[in-house]
């Protein structure tokens, strides 16, 4: 299994590693700073460099439970020592986007009692689906104001690992469907935006909410009974 450095520290941009497998989908390393696509967050892009070569990583995915770096050129052979480096600007924008999405989820639950049913993101933009019967004309604007007010309070964002039994006893985690996590996963990784939102999550996040900057609610859609969709955007995707 690849040591997944981004799970502990999302701010590490580069590391040394050794190629342990080369397969159709790409290159597997003994350790990596790359985040593999999952939980609505896209996989990282970046570069692998070794003594006499380098190649672009165009995506990072999970393949049969392993982190695989998809590359668009020559693959380093098994045993090669490489340096891996992510495209930090893109990743940092994704971290800001992902934290914004969790803050939004905390607000729609706290203020409107709505449960989140899905979500997805690209750098600087995200959508969230939630269960709410009706929304008024001002709903988007209202949420936008509440979201920006909370982000500006600079809530710390904590990454933790909880024993499975403990996670299953936490009302916040139950609400966000911790029970859907495969039984083999223990401990469970938890992202806690202090005082705002807590959920089991594998993604990468900023250290505190002010780093997200301002967020715009771009669109609110009524997709059916009890099914609403909201699209948000970072006001300045390139900042930070
Ligand atoms: Zn998440």
Q: Measured in angstroms, how far is the CA atom of residue 90 from the centroid of ligand 1?
A: 17
Listed residues: CB within 5 A of ion ligand 1: 201, 203
Strand blocks (E) in the chain:
3-4, 14-23, 26-29, 31-32, 46-50, 53-63, 66-71, 81-86, 115-122, 125-131, 157-162, 188-193, 197-200, 215-224, 227-234
pLDDT digits over 132-188, tens only?
998 888 999 999 999 999 999 999 999 999 999 999 999 888 877 788 888 888 999
Q: What is residue 180's predicted lDDT score, i.e. its pLDDT?
A: 83
Q: What is residue 240's predicted lDDT score, i.e. its pLDDT?
A: 57
Q: What is residue 155's predicted lDDT score, i.e. its pLDDT?
A: 98
- Whole-angstrom CA distances from 196 to 45, 100, 102, 109 are 30, 11, 9, 10
Q: What is residue 183's predicted lDDT score, i.e. its pLDDT?
A: 86
Q: Measured in angstroms, how far is the CA atom of residue 130 from the centroid of ligand 1?
A: 14
Q: What is residue 101's predicted lDDT score, i.e. its pLDDT?
A: 97
Please list, in sequence order, all residues whose beta carbon lies within 8 angstroms of the beta carbon of residue 15, skipping any fewer than 6 positions away: 5, 31, 32, 33, 83, 84
Give the residues of the chain that fall short of pLDDT 50: none
Q: Measured in angstroms, how far is the CA atom of residue 58 from the centroid of ligand 1?
A: 22
Q: Measured in angstroms, how far is the CA atom of residue 76 from the centroid of ligand 1?
A: 32
The two tokens of residue 172 are 């916040």
Q: Measured in angstroms, how far is the CA atom of residue 238 from the centroid of ligand 1?
A: 21
Rounded-to-integer distance, Cα 102 and Cα 121, Å? 11
Please list, in sequence order, all residues whose beta carbon lies within 8 angstroms of the beta carbon of residue 227, skipping any fewer than 6 positions away: 117, 129, 131
Q: Measured in angstroms, how far is the CA atom of residue 120 from the centroid of ligand 1?
A: 9
Please list, in sequence order, all residues whose beta carbon lies within 8 angstroms of the beta carbon of residue 180, skipping any fewer than 6 positions away: none
Q: Measured in angstroms, how far is the CA atom of residue 184 from the centroid of ligand 1?
A: 20
Q: Measured in angstroms, how far is the CA atom of residue 54 from the centroid of ligand 1?
A: 32
Backbone angles phi, psi at 235, to 5 degrees: -60, -35
Q: Measured in angstroms, how far is the CA atom of residue 191 from the centroid of ligand 1?
A: 8
Q: What is residue 142's predicted lDDT score, i.e. its pLDDT?
A: 96
Q: Measured in angstroms, how far is the CA atom of residue 202 from the centroid of ligand 1?
A: 7
Q: Measured in angstroms, how far is the CA atom of residue 80 from the centroid of ligand 1?
A: 34
Rounded-to-integer distance, Cα 215 and Cα 104, Å? 10
Judge if pTM exceeds 0.85: yes
Q: Measured in angstroms, how far is the CA atom of residue 168 from the centroid of ligand 1?
A: 18
The two tokens of residue 25 are 């989908």
Q: What is residue 137's predicted lDDT score, i.e. its pLDDT?
A: 86
> CB under 8 Å, gap of 24 or more: what pairs does 149-152 form?
150/103, 150/106, 150/107, 150/196, 150/209, 151/100, 151/103, 151/209, 151/210, 151/212, 151/213, 151/214, 151/215, 152/209, 152/210
Q: What is the DSSP letter of 64?
A: T
């Amino acid at each position: 299994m690849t040591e997944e450095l981004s799970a502990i520290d999302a701010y590490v941009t580069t590391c040394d590693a050794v190629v342990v497998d080369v397969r159709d989908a790409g290159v597997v390393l003994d350790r990596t700073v790359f985040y593999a696509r999952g939980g609505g967050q896209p996989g990282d892009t970046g570069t692998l460099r070794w003594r006499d070569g380098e190649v672009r990583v165009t995506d990072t995915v999970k393949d049969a439970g392993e982190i695989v770096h998809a590359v668009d050129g020559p693959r380093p052979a098994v045993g090669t020592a490489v340096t891996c480096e992510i495209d930090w600007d893109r990743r940092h924008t994704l971290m800001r986007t992902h934290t914004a999405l969790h803050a939004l989820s905390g607000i729609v639950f706290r203020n409107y009692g709505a449960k989140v049913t899905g979500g997805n993101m690209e750098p600087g933009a995200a959508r969230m689906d939630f269960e709410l019967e009706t929304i008024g004309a001002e709903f988007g604007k209202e949420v936008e104001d509440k979201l920006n007010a909370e982000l500006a309070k600079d809530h710390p964002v904590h990454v933790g690992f909880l024993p499975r039994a403990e996670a299953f006893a936490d009302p916040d985690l139950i609400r966000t469907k911790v029970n859907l996590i495969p039984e083999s996963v223990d401990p469970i990784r938890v992202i806690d935006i202090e005082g705002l939102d807590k959920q089991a999550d594998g993604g990468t996040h900023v250290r505190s909410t002010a780093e997200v900057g301002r967020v715009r609610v771009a669109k609110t859609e009524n997709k059916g009974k009890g099914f609403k969709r909201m699209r948000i955007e970072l006001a300045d995707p390139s900042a930070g």
